[in-house]
């Protein structure tokens, strides 16, 4: 646990650290962290964010985005993935850089610049994760997010805006669904993210016309009504179409 309250085992790389000492005098450096906005979706509930409760001051006891210091020998994305794994158990997810936040006063103690990432995962896949036992990690529906530490509320808003924008012209929505899903689940996902109702027939026609989904020979199970057909998104098919000038758009 670091002095700044982020979770990082202390394994300094001595040669790099020594080399840096000389430079530090001429150029005092901001601290560098990564923070992750993890979105989870489940057609039974809604779109949620993963938060952790801070154990250290400042903002002790408040909720915050998972994140921590960047090590000297790892890339920014690697740092984000490591923090995500260490703090929340989340692994192997869609992860993309969002924006870098660097207002001088965003951390009350020291200058800390943070590179924010956002991640997308299916809650149906990993239902509430192994970490739910830990009292300090929890999912919050987007309309019930508690006050957040630092400028994390601003980061969250930026992530929502990015997701809303990007989901319309890149097929990233599928990252929030299990591998096999129904068209109704997909529609509910889009309605939730875009915050507007969509017409069922138009939605289905449009998506199927794109030729990105393969219909499986399977149906939903465990529902108290007619079981819906399951579909799968084909990333390779998308790459192929994209090279032929196809543009995903919804």
Partner DNA sequence: TCAAAAGTGTTGACGGTACACCCATGT
Partner DNA sequence: ACATGGGTGTACCGTCAACACTTTTGA
Q: Binds 249, which of a copy of itself, DNA, none (CB < 5 to 8 A, cut-off by type)?
A: DNA
Candidate ranges 44-52, 127-135, 218-226, 235-243; the one touching DNA (CB under 7 A)? 218-226
Q: Is residue 145 within 8 Å of 64, Cβ to Cβ?
A: no
Choose between 70 and 149: whose C-beta lies nearer to a copy of itself: 70
Whole-angstrom distance, CA of residue 2 vs CA of residue 103: 21
Choose between 74 and 239: whose C-beta lies nearer to a copy of itself: 74
Choose which of 39, 41, 59, 69 interacts with a copy of itself (CB under 8 A). Answer: 69
Choose between 26 and 236: whose C-beta lies nearer to a copy of itself: 26
Tokens 């030729």 belong to residue:
211
- Distances in whole angstroms, Cα of residue 2 to Cα of each of 54, 83, 239: 12, 13, 42
Burial of 125 (0-12, 13-18, 19+ CB in 10 A): middle
Residues in contact with DNA, shown as a per-residue x/- string from 142 to 181 under the rule CB under 7 A:
----------------------------------------
Whole-angstrom distance, CA of residue 241 vs CA of residue 54: 45
247 belongs to the binding site for DNA (CB under 7 A): no
227 belongs to the binding site for DNA (CB under 7 A): yes
Tokens of 242: 């994209």
CB of 190 to DNA, least distance (A): 12
CB of 99 to a copy of itself, least distance (A): 6
Choose between 140 and 246: whose C-beta lies nearer to a copy of itself: 246
Choose between 100 and 132: whose C-beta lies nearer to a copy of itself: 100
206 belongs to the binding site for DNA (CB under 7 A): yes
Q: What residues from 82 to 121 belong to the interface with a copy of itself (CB under 8 A)?
A: 97, 99-100, 102-104, 110-111, 113, 115
Whole-angstrom distance, CA of residue 75 vs CA of residue 81: 10
27 belongs to the binding site for DNA (CB under 7 A): no
241 belongs to the binding site for DNA (CB under 7 A): no
161 belongs to the binding site for a copy of itself (CB under 8 A): no
DSSP codes joined into one string, 198-228: --HHHHHHHHHHHT-EEEEEEE--S-SSPPP
Identify which of 113, 103, 112, 88 has the alpha carbon closest to the alpha carbon of residue 37. 88
Is residue 148 helix, strand or coil? Answer: strand
Q: Binds 206, which of a copy of itself, DNA, none (CB < 5 to 8 A, cut-off by type)?
A: DNA
On the CB side of 125, how many CA atoms lie within 13 Å of its CA?
Answer: 17
Q: Is residue 35 within 8 Å of 65, Cβ to Cβ?
A: yes
What residues line the site for DNA (CB under 7 A)?
182-184, 199-202, 204-206, 219, 223-229, 249
């Amino acid at each position: 646990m670091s002095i700044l309250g982020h979770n990082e085992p202390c394994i300094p790389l001595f040669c790099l650290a020594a080399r840096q000492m000389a430079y530090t005098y001429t150029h005092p450096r901001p601290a560098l962290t990564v923070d992750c906005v993890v979105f989870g979706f489940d057609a039974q509930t809604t779109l949620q964010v993963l938060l952790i409760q801070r154990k250290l001051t400042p903002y002790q006891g408040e909720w915050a985005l998972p994140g921590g210091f960047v090590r000297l020998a790892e890339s920014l994305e690697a740092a984000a993935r490591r923090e995500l794994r260490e703090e929340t158990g989340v692994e192997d997810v869609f992860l993309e850089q969002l924006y870098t936040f660097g207002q001088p006063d965003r951390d009350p103690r020291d200058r800390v610049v943070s590179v924010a990432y956002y991640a997308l995962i299916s809650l149906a896949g990993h239902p509430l994760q192994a970490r739910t036992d830990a009292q300090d990690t929890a999912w919050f529906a987007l309309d019930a997010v508690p006050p957040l530490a630092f400028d994390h509320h601003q980061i969250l808003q930026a992530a929502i805006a990015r997701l809303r924008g990007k989901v319309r012209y890149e097929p990233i929505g599928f990252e929030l669904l299990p591998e096999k899903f129904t068209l109704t689940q997909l529609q509910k996902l889009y309605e939730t993210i875009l915050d507007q109702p969509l017409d069922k027939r138009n939605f289905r026609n449009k998506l199927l016309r794109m030729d990105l989904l393969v219909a499986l020979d399977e149906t939903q199970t465990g529902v108290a009504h007619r079981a819906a057909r399951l579909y799968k998104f084909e990333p390779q098919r998308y790459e192929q179409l994209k090279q032929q000038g196809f543009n995903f758009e919804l």
